[in-house]
Structure 1
Amino acid sequence: MIKGFTRFLQSPGEHLKSLFGTQDAPAGGPVLRIIPREDHPVSRQLFSDSALKVLYRLHNAGFEAFLVGGCIRDALLGRQPKDFDVATDATPEEVRDLFRNSRLIGRRFRIVHVRFGREVIEVTTFRGKPSEDDGQNVAHQSDDGMLLRDNVWGNIEEDALRRDFSINALYYNIADFSIHDFADGVRDIESRTLRLIGDPATRYREDPVRMLRAIRFAAKLDFQLDVETEAPLEELAPLLLQVPPARLFDEVLKLFMNGYGVETYHLLRDYGLFPMLFPETDEAFDELPWADAVIERALASTDERVQQDRPVTPAFLFAALLWGPVQLRQRAHEQEGMAPIPALQAASQRVVSRQLQHVAIPKRFSLPMRDIWDLQQRLPKRRGKRAFQTREHPRFRAAFDFLLLREAAGELEPGLGDWWSAFQKADEHEQRRLLGKVDADPAGSPAPRKRRRRRRRKPQNTPSDS
């Protein structure tokens, strides 16, 4: 049990009656539970100075100001909050007027970013119910129920209903340091349950990315999906095909680069969401027994680096996610008579082109990804100066790590990775010895193609003039 909630949770009925006062929930709306400061462990010391500046300036200007969502959830779970989102009754224009260091962003959802150096505090106006009124204050939906544009302002109760999960509908009031819980989020934190607010099928249709968020939170927080939240996932998974690929790129980074990528990957496959993101990779699993292991090991390595606060690059991760289909296409091209290097390049082009229809990959990541693939052809070729030239390639280290990944996953016989590991650590004398060993026993290194000798034509015997 979370420290500080014992009295609140053991007798919620009587305790809440004493706390609500005259505050009643709107008809059909959320049931508000106000947890006073003495009954919860969330301290202002957990919040960044920048977040507090935004809260106090809004409050002193006469607006309501709450920290909301993940930062409160994480604080209640005993985690250090990192991202601070502020909800207020001030409109985006009023927020912008209060903060010179701010800018309005977004068309689908208009919000304000208040920047303090590298830190950005996101400020949103309370959302209201979709309106049929003419003008700007209106929500637009597609025929499938997806929200295309939503700038409807409302009050805090309406805003709570518009949020996705109960554990994200928790508001910290800077006026009295209480927590406002509109959807039983505290209880769900206690039971480690992830539950959508409202009808799950409707909420997923409004924004299919919520299905990915459900998976991400379940993996990251080690929560169980509520039965009703879980039920429509597999059936509604194809709705993700309507989401712009650029948006899904951002979501994939959140899914796989948050330190819990392996568990996230398992859940995506369990609920049929992975094929919507990487269809050709999913198709390759049946033909390549090692493809799944390559992805798992890449994700495990990424998780370890994230948890150690070491840098990670999406290029390496996408290289692993798409390597299976690249290999299948390369194999098909070679069977048609194409040489290995052109076959790999043609395969890479086809796979990336199809993938971009589902999840966008910016060139700053797709070009290094393709370098990693291309170097897999060069790493076995170590004769003469080739080993030194390959080692000097700017993507060599990533390609070497990828080679080790392939060996560990069972795609390749081990050996080449050990040779390159020894070569990198060796002095000049040892490097010559290793290169000599390749010349003597070129295991794992393709033999050079022999030049075909021209056959000399035999001179024709011409009859002599006589």
Structure 2
Amino acid sequence: MSAFLSTVKRWFSGSGHDNSNRDDAQSAMTDSSHIVPRDHHTVSRKEISENALKVLYRLSKAGYEAFLVGGGVRDILLGLHPKDFDIATNATPEQVRKLFRNSRIIGRRFKLVHILFGRDMIEVATFRAHCDQKIEQASEGMILRDNVYGDIEEDAERRDFTINALYYNIKDFSVHDYCGGLTDLRKRQLRMIGDAEKRYREDPVRMLRAIRLSTKLELSIEPETKAPISDLAPLLEQVPAARLWEEYRKMFLSGKGQATFQSLQQHDLLSKLFPATDHLMHVHADFEAFIHSALENTDRRIADDKTVNPAFLIAVFLWQPLLEEAHKMETRGMNFNDAFFKSMGKVLAKQSQHISIPRRYGMVIRDIWALQVRLPQRHGKKVWSVLEHPRFRAGYDFLMLRAEADPSLRETADWWTKFQDADKSTQHSMLPKSKRRKPKRRKKNKNQH
């Protein structure tokens, strides 16, 4: 965290200016306007994507307020390089749509505008007001629909955490901090805006965001923000399973998957996302070791800028549930292969009630699992078909992780490690020699002499 501390030091030391400028900066953060001028923060347009700047400038030129907001501002202040750039404005979604032909309005609960630049997408949201009668809420407090617009200060108070309520104004390059986000960054803490329990009830996914941001940014969760999480964990059951798929991706594909997994366990949230996984980890110690090896491996791949398929970890999390389901079918008289392959659909269907797994990823998971049956069969044409399988590498990596937890698989894993990189002649020599069947002797016809 030395980079973090040096960045924070620059904020509160006036970024190299004299003491009078430092005092001006600190007073600017505490006065009624909550505006930190350009010379007293480290947000630079050099760190903002070209497409985000295009949107900001066009909105401003059209006479609207235009702010970079949330994670983009937060990460730049932390010395990180943000990937997502969200924009907040006083223009309505319809007004934004008129300015950008390459845009579309999405959302029912929150109307947003997505502006498309090839594969790049910039999200624009209109300032939102405080809750009132026009906002639809479920009996437990979860917001169902909310398109009530307001000003920037109201919008800041409606955001989840203080560090996400920082606004960079493209007009004068100042940072607006209405909720003490800069102070919380200095304290290295994550704090909810407003009453934490009420905010979690409005949107239970905020509990997952608290875990994700605290692990990603290595922040402590402020005590009042942390306190209600375990008790309110069951509220996640109200969240659409499709929405939780995206949260799963953000939590486990950010390079902090292992820390996130442990934090979800500590706050009783894992059982609401992966109930079968959470239960069986307490029954099988080797299954827990397998999961942690996979998480560590995934974090390492992300750190090395290698690709990671979101299906892989799901295959890991559901491996023991798959074996348990197959065993149940075997006890009813079904042979192992049939039980194993029929269990795949049942396990995926059960999990999709909690986190919806898109079909294309479900197929990848099935392939990885199926290869665990095929990889030990090292003879004849089957070896070549396995090696040429489009999911071979994922299936092999899965086997290697299993071998770390189960020594009985080591010989098979080592054989495939050597075989896949060997030349053709070596590969052929590694295959078991096929025994030629002796031709059957023809029986003499009794009538033959």
TM over 0.5: yes
Cα separation, partners in 2 of 1:411 and 1:314, compared to 1, 3 Å? farther
Q: How far 1:19 sits from its partner (Å)? A: 3.7
Q: Which runs of 5+ in 1 are unaligned?
A: 25-31, 133-137, 441-466
Equivalent residue, structure 2, for 1:116 = 117
Q: What is the distance in 2 between the residues matched to 1:17 and 1:427?
A: 67
Q: What is the distance in 1 between the residues matched to 2:223 and 2:366?
A: 42
Equivalent residue, structure 2, for 1:105 = 106
Q: How far 1:69 sits from its partner (Å)? A: 0.5
Contact 2:142 2:202 in 1 (8 A): yes
Equivalent residue, structure 1, for 2:439 = none
Contact 1:406 1:412 in 2 (8 A): no
Equivalent of 2:372, from 373, 376, 382? Answer: 376
Contact 2:162 2:190 in 1 (8 A): yes
Aligned with 1:297: secondary structure? helix
Equivalent residue, structure 2, for 1:349 = 345
TM-score (norm 2): 0.90
Aligned with 1:196: secondary structure? coil
Cα separation, partners in 2 of 1:3 and 1:13, compared to 1, 3 Å? closer
My pick for the range that moved more, 247-256 or 327-336, is: 327-336
Equivalent residue, structure 1, for 2:441 = none
Q: Are 2:193 and 1:197 aligned?
A: yes
Q: What is the distance in 2 between the residues matched to 1:353 and 1:49?
A: 42
Q: How far 1:201 sits from its partner (Å)? A: 0.5
TM-score (norm 1): 0.87
Q: What is the distance in 1 between the residues matched to 2:163 and 2:390?
A: 44
Cα separation, partners in 2 of 1:421 and 1:364, compared to 1, 3 Å? same
Equivalent residue, structure 1, for 2:96 = 95
Aligned with 2:284: secondary structure? coil
Equivalent residue, structure 2, for 1:158 = 154
Equivalent of 1:435, from 411, 422, 431? Answer: 431
Q: Deviations over 1:226-254 (max 9, x none)?
A: 00111011100000000000001111011
Q: Deviations over 1:126-156 (max 9, x none)?
A: 0001222xxxxx3110000000011010011
Contact 1:59 1:175 in 2 (8 A): yes
Contact 2:103 2:116 in 1 (8 A): yes
Aligned-partner residue type, residue 36 of structure 2: I
My pick for the range that moved more, 81-90 or 305-314, is: 305-314
After TM superposition, the structure 1 = structure 2 runs for residues 56-205 of structure 1, keeping only pairs within 5 Å, are 56-132=57-133, 138-205=134-201
Contact 2:12 2:26 in 1 (8 A): no
Q: What is the distance in 2 between the residues matched to 1:270 and 1:410?
A: 27
Q: How far 1:17 sits from its partner (Å)? A: 8.5
Q: Are 2:409 and 1:390 aligned?
A: no
Aligned with 2:10: secondary structure? coil
Q: What is the distance in 1 between the residues matched to 2:26 and 2:307?
A: 50
Q: How far 1:426 sits from its partner (Å)? A: 2.2
Equivalent residue, structure 2, for 1:46 = 47
Q: Deviations over 1:267-324 (max 9, x none)?
A: 0111110010011111111222211122222222222222222221122111101001
Corresponding pairs, count: 426
Contact 2:241 2:352 in 1 (8 A): yes
Equivalent residue, structure 1, for 2:36 = 35
Q: How far 1:409 sits from its partner (Å)? A: 2.3
Bigger-Rg structure (1/2): 1
Aligned-partner residue type, residue 67 of structure 1: L
Cα separation, partners in 2 of 1:271 and 1:97, compared to 1, 3 Å? same
Aligned-partner residue type, residue 123 of structure 1: V
Contact 1:284 1:328 in 2 (8 A): no
Aligned with 1:148: secondary structure? strand
Q: How far 1:93 sits from its partner (Å)? A: 0.7
Q: What is the distance in 1 between the residues matched to 2:210 and 2:20?
A: 30
My pick for the range that moved more, 377-386 or 150-159, is: 377-386
Contact 1:128 1:152 in 2 (8 A): yes
| Higher helix proportion (structure 1 or 2) | 2
Q: What is the distance in 2 between the residues matched to 1:18 and 1:211?
A: 33
Contact 2:29 2:36 in 1 (8 A): no
Equivalent of 1:4, from 6, 10, 20? Answer: 10
Equivalent of 1:269, from 246, 265, 271? Answer: 265
Q: What is the distance in 1 between the residues matched to 2:309 and 2:344?
A: 19
Equivalent of 2:291, from 274, 295, 315? Answer: 295
Equivalent residue, structure 2, for 1:253 = 249
Cα separation, partners in 2 of 1:155 and 1:184, compared to 1, 3 Å? same
Aligned with 1:180: secondary structure? strand
Q: CA RMSD in A?
A: 2.2
Aligned-partner residue type, residue 393 of structure 1: H
Q: Are 2:321 and 1:325 aligned?
A: yes
Aligned-partner residue type, residue 74 of structure 1: D
Cα separation, partners in 2 of 1:53 and 1:429, compared to 1, 3 Å? closer
Equivalent residue, structure 2, for 1:364 = 360
Q: How far 1:84 sits from its partner (Å)? A: 0.9
Contact 1:241 1:276 in 2 (8 A): yes
Q: What is the distance in 1 between the residues matched to 2:331 and 2:58?
A: 68
Equivalent residue, structure 2, for 1:29 = none
| Identity over aligned pairs, percent | 50
Contact 2:112 2:126 in 1 (8 A): yes
Q: What is the distance in 1 between the residues matched to 2:394 and 2:191?
A: 40
Contact 1:141 1:148 in 2 (8 A): yes
Equivalent residue, structure 2, for 1:338 = 334
